[in-house]
Amino acid sequence: MSDHREPPAMPVQAFEPPYYLAVFTAVRTADQDGYRETNARLEDSVRSIPGYLGMDYAQSPAGLAITVAYFRDAEALDRWRTDLEHRAAQRRGRAQWYRSYSLHVAKVERSHGFTREG
Amino acid sequence: MSDHREPPAMPVQAFEPPYYLAVFTAVRTADQDGYRETNARLEDSVRSIPGYLGMDYAQSPAGLAITVAYFRDAEALDRWRTDLEHRAAQRRGRAQWYRSYSLHVAKVERSHGFTREG
């Protein structure tokens, strides 16, 4: 189902606020030509950005895909937003891959994590 | 796969900032007794909160579940955070349903939406 590399089944941790996150929610079209390759390149690219903290990804059976990317500060997120290959992928996404999407860029004010013992 | 009512395959829209969101990412345990019923009640409950804007949900094949809930303001989100049944479910979640989770509460500063024409 996932076109992403299978992520480890662990959520990205809660960091010390403030930090930033971008929630990208999308429903894709039937034409996914080139999506997988572009996505793999972009995943490598975002990892190289100083201040990139991690990414959560999941897709529902009905086809809703949620990506949450975490960044240490607004500068790191802005560097990702304005990355040239990312911008080209955004244009191609609107032209070809996405039926509908929403982007929410937000500053984390509070966070909390839990991991079961043992 | 989903224990949630099957959502329509449309992302929650981008609203006019500022607004709030809570990203809840979780990996569940093998013991999901009572989870589905509690979750259905909580979904009804959150919808009754003034200022609740919507919720996106997806789960990866590897078992990472992402829920993003959107609220008009900090007061609406706080009302959800302190809801008594929600708090009881949080305690039961730590005791029984969740292996690991992260919660990120954030104020949206920028948003953008796209829907294909025709």
CA-nearest residue to A19 within chain B is B106
Q: CB-based contact (8 Å) between A94 and chain B?
A: yes
- pLDDT at residue B117, rounded to an integer: 83
What is the C-alpha to C-alpha distance for residues B53 and A100, in angstroms, rounded to an integer?
18
Q: Which of B10, B21, B98 sits opposite A104 (nearest CB)?
A: B21
Position B2 scores a pLDDT of 45
- Nearest-Cα distance to chain B for A45, in Å, is 22
Predicted pLDDT at B28: 94
Q: What is the pLDDT of residues A42-98, one digit of tens each?
A: 999 999 999 999 999 999 888 999 999 999 999 999 999 999 999 999 999 999 999
Q: Are B27 and B100 in contact (CB under 8 A)?
A: yes
How far apart CA A2 and CA A15 sit, in angstroms, is 26
Going by CATH, does the domain composed of B31-108 fall within 3.90.1150.10?
no
Domain ranges of chain B: 31-108
List chain B pLDDT tens, one digit each, 118 residues: 445 555 557 999 999 999 999 999 999 999 999 999 999 999 999 999 999 999 999 998 889 999 999 999 999 999 999 999 999 999 999 999 999 999 999 999 999 999 998 6
